[in-house]
Chain A
Amino acid sequence: MSYTIEGRTGPWELVIGLEVHAQVISQAKLFSGAATAFGAEPNTQVSFIDAGFPGMLPVINRECVAQAVRTGLGLNAQVNLWSRFDRKNYFYADLPQGYQISQYQHPIIGHGVIEIELQDGSTKKVGITRLHLEQDAGKSLHDQHPTKSFIDLNRSGVALMEIVSEPDMRSPEEAGAYLAKLRQILRYLGTCDGNMDEGSMRADVNVSVRRPGEGFRTRCEVKNVNSIRFVMQAVEAEARRQIEVWEEGGTVEQETRLFDTARGVTRSMRSKEEAHDYRYFPDPDLPPLVLDPAWVEELKASLPELPDARRARYMRDFGLTAYDAHVLTLEKETAAYYETVAKGRDPKLAANWVMGDLFAALNRTKRSIEDSPVSAENLGALLDLMKDGTLSGKLAKEVFEAMVETGKAPGAIVEERGLRQVTDTGAIEAAVDKVLAANADKVAEYKSGKDKLFGFFVGQVMKAMQGKGNPALVNQVLKQKLG
């Protein structure tokens, strides 16, 4: 069943396309050598080029181009060996040159496609129209002084990738899944950190509604939405607004809107008539960007394994379920952690520990997997101690908790706390004899057929041994002695 919103007059379909601005991970800006680190003091990462000083000229940063090409390859998209930079002219206080250098007519990346996964387990392909490189503007701060605005140019000139989707999405869920998938791919590629709360990824959401079976109606663009949740909310809020307009007999006007996250509604920002005339023209300071096909091939060969491929491999080689494989590949850091634990060990057991005890511990301690108190190597070592019989499953859980607390290796904890399980049959026999002697009545009951009492004996023996008895051996000895 396709998603619709029920209006007063019947069902409406949604048509959604996203333009995502993703900040390129690079040491320097797109056309200058200034640094790009997030959170630096205002105006400390600004070159004369970024500040639009007289006579300054842009020079393209090779690494930013490589990142765009990697991203294009990761989006299964066409890499354009010839692309060009244009100037988008407009005046604003945080735009020092009076124009933004962008690729308007000839983007570096052409058509591509990605596959999104939905809650019901189905998948859907979403087309990528294009990806182009452009400069970010600076930041205007209007709340620092009663009558003045302050300008921070640290972001001015930072490289952005604008990734434009086809209008292929039909529900808030699909829009959210698309953005999540795009972010996952960018993070795997290492081309954008995807941190929406730091502004390194932002989405402009294009929404229109229509009657099932109709062609496209007028769309509106909701600007600068900065979380996946807000994108889903904005889609729904804007769709409901448009449905109301149509159902009231009105006409949706093409315009740019803003999403008011507090009230959950979109507000008009500017209409088509007020739209700027950006006077785009080819930037005469920059020759066309021509890529060497051999260089593109090199980048292709050095691409990391992407989420879809990795998930398939986990299912194929590790025998994981689709769900487990999906969860473990969501973040590349998780996948890397998991693979370290699983290497040379039982992959399903490794998956259970990572998704079970480790995730629980991370949630509890509010830490990410990159600064997990339990390193992947240590978790692997814990699995080894279970395999070689040093630890029982129960003891292993105890050791794991100690690892979470102390960050120590499991071997050290086992030694310190004397948690090594007892595999000495002599000691087990002694404990068993003692328990059986103390519970002669229960032994008699067991022997007369009350099999269920076996568990009671196991419990008593383990208790006597402070939990350190090897469960298999305890079972074995008990069975022997009870006949």
Chain B
Amino acid sequence: MHPTDFTLRGAIEALTEGTISAEELTRAHLDAIERLNPRLNAYITVTAEQALEQARASDERRRQGLAGPLEGVPLAIKDLFCTAGVRTTAGSRILGNFIPPYESTVSANLLRDGAVFLGKANLDEFAMGSSNATSAFGPVENPWSRRNDPETKLVPGGSSGGSAAAVAARLALGATATDTGGSIRQPAAFCGVAGIKPTYGRCSRFGIVAFASSLDQAGPVARTVEDCAILLRSMSGFDPKDSTSADVPVPDFAAACTRSVKGLRIGVPKEYRIEGMPAEIEALWRQGLEWLRDAGAELVEISLPHTKYALPTYYIVAPAEASSNLARYDGVRYGLRVEERGDDLTDLYERTRAAGFGAEVKRRIMIGTYVLSAGYYDAYYLKAQKVRALIKRDFDQAWDKVDAIVTPATPSAAFGMNEKTDDPVTMYLNDVFTVTANLAGLPGLAVPAGLDAQGLPLGLQVIGRAFDEETVFAVGAALERSANFTALPAVRAGA
């Protein structure tokens, strides 16, 4: 068995038993990155030397009996998390060669638990995108390809495309990611891996480059539901440096993965049967529900009546917050600065921001600025906030009837790199099943559940009550067991 084929859980066991060292495990991943990253472009920055140092230090800690829960586990860190001393780009030119002097709370928690960082994973610029095509550091290629069209390069999804591709191609045992409208779940589904966006407030946002503060949430991507559970436990926890972080206990999520789903009421929202959805996704959804019923769960048809407003609501709230959050990239204190002789302050702003931001980021800044403007605020932003409250209420009412909700993760399988890119609205439709969980602040887990006719992975989504990730993991793990998803991407280490 190649060391990169370990699950995260399996690697922890092997490290504990001493059949492999952290250094060997890390080196195997670095070799794989060296071989495959030039093609996949999953990493923007590879920190090989630092990773080996961390791995050796980890082996030393283990010798001293000081092993943490993630001791020696090599991970990819989405390049939206600030990492002390390591360049952090947010997939944008505007941050230039920004090297944060501080560590994000989530990545610090992982280091505290013994993890080794292989490098910084590629992403859509400022996490704005569903294909990883908006990255200033080039697109990421999905390690999967169509059975009868292997030449067409597919997108890994976004914005956490680098994280999902790296994990799928075995260039990391797991990865951090963030999800504002589906940026963990959609790329996980496209790359045939698992990923969870936990409840808003579960992970600290401190040190994560902000996109839309009321929606952003960090979470893990890994090859199994249990691996996600192990990572999430380390990533989570109250942080006094984030006022929106929740002061609630962090349960043993991995333990919840073996819980029976017997007697659980599973909600099937009728509004998620959308027009134009491929039949195989509809079929997979039905299949997933049957697996759960077979495992003893009860299926309950529910209605989330405001679902159809979720996408437009999201595309008002998220750009509004982004337009304000991205105002700090002005060329004055750090990052890119573009100026010419005789420029005044406004020229400096305009030149810097024109050169530093890509088209999609500019589009969202303009949308956000527009919806917050005097005269439009009430009609757009305020109305969107009201609809958001209604979407949240839909879920609150659903929880009286069900314990979890199961839906498709995405309306399609991974698409080609040159498909869908000309029309931003088509691209935005990728988030149709995932944005609701962000707007309502709920946990959502994507689980690979099957393949389409082209041999591409398709995922199902489990949505749960706020701070009830345990039920989400239990349902997700049950789906995973039934699906027995063993297909592998064409491009992967150890192949």
Contact = CB atoms under 8 A, between A and B. Distances in A.
Contacts of B210: 54-55, 285
Nearest to B335: A54
Contacts of A89: 323-324, 327, 372
A44 to B, nearest CB: 16
A420 interface: no
Contacts of A51: 333
Count class of interface residues, chain A = 20 to 34
Nearest to A283: B213
B243 interface: yes
Contact of B242 (A57, A96, A98): A57
Contact of B240 (A48, A59, A279): A59
B324 to A, nearest CB: 5
A248 B95 CA distance: 56
A256 B269 CA distance: 55
Nearest to B209: A54
Interface residues of B, number: 43
Contacts of A53: 100, 102, 328, 333-334
Nearest to A98: B327
Contacts of A58: 243
Given A89-B372, A98-B327, A286 B243 contact: yes
A141 interface: no
A87 interface: yes
B279 interface: no
B324 A279 contact: yes
Give the interface SS of chain B, mostly helix, strand, loop or mixed.
loop
A398 B82 CA distance: 71
Nearest to A281: B372
A96 B328 contact: yes
Interface string B76-97: 0000011000001010000100
Interface stretch (B2-10, B15-23, B156-164, B200-208): B200-208
Contacts, number: 99
A59 B209 contact: no
Contacts of A87: 324
Interface in B357-381: 369, 372-374, 377, 381
A284 B212 CA distance: 8
Give the interface SS of chain A, mostly helix, strand, loop or mixed.
loop
A439 B373 CA distance: 99
B66 interface: no
Contacts of A55: 81-82, 100, 102, 104, 205-210
A60 B101 CA distance: 23
Contacts of B242: 57, 59
B99 to A, nearest CB: 11
B427 interface: no
A293 interface: no
B243 A57 contact: yes
Nearest to B103: A55
A351 to B, nearest CB: 51
A59 B90 contact: no
A279 B372 contact: yes
Contacts of B286: none
A280 B321 CA distance: 11
Interface in B98-112: 98, 100-102, 104
Interface of B: 81-82, 88, 90, 95, 98, 100-102, 104, 205-210, 212-214, 240-244, 320-321, 323-324, 326-328, 330, 332-334, 345, 349, 369, 372-374, 377, 381
Given A54-B100, A55-B81, A285-B243, 4 more contacts: A55-B205, A55-B207, A59-B241, A96-B328
